[in-house]
Amino acid sequence: DGGITQSPKYLFRKEGQNVTLSCEQNLNHDAMYWYRQDPGQGLRLIYYSQIVNDFQKGDIAEGYSVSREKKESFPLTVTSAQKNPTAFYLCASSLRRLAGLTDTQYFGPGTRLTVL
């Protein structure tokens, strides 16, 4: 089956710890994204990557880091510098058209992170 997988589904972290959220896609998509969703708010973009070994900050990148060593994988690390990390994290991917623009974004099932 083609799609986007995120793991784990639920993650608990103690204050001061770094944690890494996994995102994998087998859709052969070029671009991948990380969003954060808080109750009653729209999704906010953390980081995105259009090609391997390249990524850009979104609106709320502080306290987060990413890597894009493989086309299929775009892990997100939530560092201890992120002051309020409890949220629902969504990964997405999209195909990059020949014109350089990306198509519809397809989302994974999400990871709910709770800081204890």
Partner 1 sequence: KQEVTQIPAALSVPEGENLVLNCSFTDSAIYNLQWFRQDPGKGLTSLLLIQSSQREQTSGRLNASLDKSSGRSTLYIAASQPGDSATYLCAFRLQGGSEKLVFGKGTKLTVNP
Retrieve residue 11's tokens. Answer: 């993650």
**Residue burial 77-109, b: 16+ Cβ < 10 Å; e: rest:** ebeeebeebebebbbbbbeeeeeeebeebbebe
Retrieve residue 8's tokens. Answer: 């784990």
Residues 54-113 that bind partner 1 (CB under 8 A): 56, 58-59, 88, 90, 92, 100-110, 112
Here's the x/- map for partner 1, 4-43, by CB under 8 A: it reads as x-x------------------------x-x------xxxx
Question: Which residues contact partner 1 by CB under 8 A?
Answer: 4, 6, 31, 33, 40-45, 48, 50, 56, 58-59, 88, 90, 92, 100-110, 112
